[in-house]
Amino acid sequence: MTIVAAQNEIVAEFEGMADWFDVYEALVKMGRELGSLEEDERNDENSIPGCQSNVWLKMRMENGIIKLEADSDALITKGILSLLLRVLDGRPPGEILNTQLFFLYDIGLSTNLSPSRSDGLNNIIGTVMDFARNNGTQTS
Amino acid sequence: MFDVYKVREDFPILCTDVHGRPLVYFDNAATSQKPQCVIDAVIDHYAQHNSNIHRGVHQLSERCSAAYEAARSKVRGFINAPRDEDVIFTSGTTDSINLVAQSFSSAYLRKGDEVIVTEMEHHSNIVPWQMACERSGASLRTIPFDDQGDLELHLLKEMISDDTRMLAVSHVSNVLGSVNPVKEMVSVAHGHGVPVLVDAAQSAPHIPVDVKDIDCDFLAFSGHKVHAETGIGALYGKSEWLQEMPPYQGGGGMVANVKVGGTTYAEPPLKFEAGTPNYIGAISLGAALDYMTGLGMNEIAAHEERLTEHMLESLGRFEGLTLYGDATLRCPVFSFNLEGLHHYDVGRILDKMGIAVRTGTHCAEPVMDHYGVTGTVRASLALYNTIEEIDVLLEGLERVRSIFA
């Protein structure tokens, strides 16, 4: 499944939800189902600045694809991270760099993408993009 | 007679919907909403009178200068300062504290000296002093508070010494709502010849602030928290300090004579108001203070006491809710967490219900460290909030609990 297809799938899932209450319940559920990083991986190195809740992102290259793990101390944030992982985890850097992320706007979580200090989702996506850029040559 | 429903009509934003629900604005400790009279004062000024102050001979400039100085006089009256000249316009509380931390410290703070603050200060009453201490080689000491949110006042008496040069304390905690006994603290400090700066950012919106009664040497507050524009605030200083202290910034407006060989500074307050001041902000502050004094600070405080009583009772009944701070005297600022839930999660759900609260550390990390938490949910009320809105918050918290159950 391409990044676009994965995003379309998420958008379709969320379109079926009646109201914000369902959306947040779903995010909480996804947050609960997302695994946790080990205590020693929830460190400064993996920490993403600018988030209201603590967010940790662990990234590595494995056979030309980017492996992502993420964690947060807030459940809604974990839910959003879980969606991001569905879209971005296990992709080659080139695909990440060359695809537009639209699903967060489409499912109405776009306020999370404001460039303000209190919303770190931009920083999370930016961190993945930087990692993809720095490791991009490995896939060519 | 204070009629909150009538008061609410003065604030256009309170009629707006958020996420399809009527706004419940409980983020007043961050900033307050503006009454129509303040909005009108700003618009009217730009539309009818605008001109730079103090320099012009023409009619508009004279009108503007008069309005600016009238605003200074209103600030003087609001805090009961002895003279208009004791009031300096700044960009806000942070700027006011930085002014003192720079000017006072450059003249009086030396290696081996001490500055005392409290554990419950906003970062803006810690960091400027840390910077002043770094520059001078002085050290910073901290008066702790107990879990209830009351300062351990007896420690001030032990801590203060011949080396102490300044005591800087908040009148009201921006997290716990505690009203600190600043008058008593000033008395202790003055007993050792130590001047006191009071951060009144969180008290000025809620209770009468009287610098003569407190007898503090400096007092700072922000316009935007008392229903005026952002970017304006005031610093009160006792005239002997303002005379003695060197200016903080150089520029136009703060000088008597400038020669290439040297400059003579203007008298206070102009000595501390370099450059074109935010005169529109000052005028908005004057309008806001008129509005508040029109309602009556005692009436506002009495209304907020009723809100506080209802809030404490409601939060106290809510299972699994931890309220941080229950000081003997308090303003309507309430910080809490729900068991097992992250403050951010709580805030996100409340937002969807049209309820604006703040989550996080509230620029007071030492307070978070005191309670061993990464942050709190903070509901901070103002003169226009109602008992019904508190009930909406409680319904919101029930909803939060059901989502995360």
Please give the domain boundaries of chain A with CATH numbers for all domains: 3-135 (3.90.1010.10)
Nearest chain B alpha carbon to A75: B345
Q: Residues B49-52: contacts with CB within 8 Å, 24+ apart?
A: B50/B280, B52/B276, B52/B279
Interchain CB distance below 8 Å, A28 and B344:
no
Nearest chain B alpha carbon to A76: B345
Per-residue pLDDT band at A114 (split at 50, 70, 90) = very low
Query: Is A112 within 8 Å of chain B by CB?
Result: no
Output the CA–CA distances (angstroms, integers) from residue B305 to B227, B250, B330, in the order listed.
19, 44, 9
Query: Could you read off the pLDDT of B249-260 as tens digits, one per residue?
Result: 998 888 888 988
Average pLDDT of the segment spanning A41-60: 90
d(CA A121, CA A112): 6
> Tell me, what's the pLDDT at A108?
80
Considering the domain B39-293, what is its CATH architecture?
3-Layer(aba) Sandwich (3.40)
Q: Which among B344, B399, B403 has the least Cβ separation from residue A74?
A: B344
Q: Calculate ∠ Cα A52-A58-A63, nearest 5°.
A: 150
Interchain CB distance below 8 Å, B403 and A25:
yes
Q: Which among A24, A53, A118 has the least Cβ separation from residue B342?
A: A53
Set A51, A59, A85, A132: catalytic member = A51
Q: Which two tokens stand for residue B340?
A: 């097992």
> Tell me, what's the pLDDT at A110?
64
> Tell me, what's the pLDDT at B253?
85
What ipTM does this complex have?
0.85
Q: Which residues of A touch B348 (CB under 8 A)?
A: 24, 76
The structural domains of chain B, with segments of one domain joined by +, span: 4-27+296-404, 39-293
Q: How far does the CA of residue A25 sit from the closest CA of chain B (Å)?
A: 6
- Using omega within 30 degrees of 0 as the cis cutoff, is the peptide bond preceding B181 cis? no
Interchain CB distance below 8 Å, A76 and B352:
no
Interchain CB distance below 8 Å, B342 and A20:
no
> Tell me, what's the pLDDT at A140?
42
Intervals of chain B under pLDDT 70: none
d(CA B111, CA B119): 23
Asked if residue B324 lies in contact with residue B376, where contact means CB atoms within 8 angstroms, the answer is: yes
Average pLDDT of the segment spanning A32-61: 92
The DSSP annotation for A7-75 comes to HHHHHHHHHT--SHHHHHHHHHHHHHHS----GGGSSTTTBPTT-SS-EEEEEEEETTEEEEEEEESSH
Per-residue pLDDT band at A49 (split at 50, 70, 90) = confident
Query: Domain B4-27+296-404 falls in which CATH fold?
Result: Aspartate Aminotransferase, domain 1 (3.90.1150)
Per-residue pLDDT band at A137 (split at 50, 70, 90) = low
In this predicted structure, the answer to whether residue A15 has a pLDDT above a threshold of 80 is: yes
> Tell me, what's the pLDDT at A107?
87
> Tell me, what's the pLDDT at B72?
98
> Tell me, what's the pLDDT at B370?
97
Around Cβ B197, how many Cβ atoms within 10 Å?
A: 28
Q: Which among B345, B360, B399 has the least Cβ separation from residue A76?
A: B345
Mutation site for B-interface testing, chosen from A17, A19, A20 by largest number of B Cβ within 10 Å: A20
d(CA B205, CA B386): 16
Interchain CB distance below 8 Å, B403 and A24:
yes
d(CA B363, CA B361): 5
Interchain CB distance below 8 Å, B403 and A54:
no
Q: Which among B345, B399, B403 has the least Cβ separation from residue A74?
A: B345
Nearest chain A alpha carbon to B360: A52
Task: Indicate the helix (H) or strand (E) that contains B208.
Answer: none
Asked if residue B208 lies in contact with residue B297, where contact means CB atoms within 8 angstroms, the answer is: yes
Interchain CB distance below 8 Å, A52 and B360:
yes
In this predicted structure, the answer to whether residue A115 has a pLDDT above a threshold of 70 is: no
> Tell me, what's the pLDDT at A99?
87
> Catalytic site residues of B?
363
> Tell me, what's the pLDDT at A117?
44
Q: Which amino acid is located at B93 in the chain? A: T
> Tell me, what's the pLDDT at A118?
44
Asked if residue B164 lies in contact with residue B193, where contact means CB atoms within 8 angstroms, the answer is: no
d(CA B323, CA B325): 6
In this predicted structure, the answer to whether residue A6 has a pLDDT above a threshold of 90 is: yes
Asked if residue B201 lies in contact with residue B223, where contact means CB atoms within 8 angstroms, the answer is: no
Q: How far does the CA of residue B345 sit from the closest CA of chain A (Å)?
A: 6
Mutation site for B-interface testing, chosen from A53, A56, A78 by largest number of B Cβ within 10 Å: A53
Q: Which two tokens stand for residue B115?
A: 């500055």
Query: Could you read off the pLDDT of B31-79 as tens digits, one per residue?
Result: 999 999 999 999 999 999 999 998 778 999 999 999 999 999 999 999 9
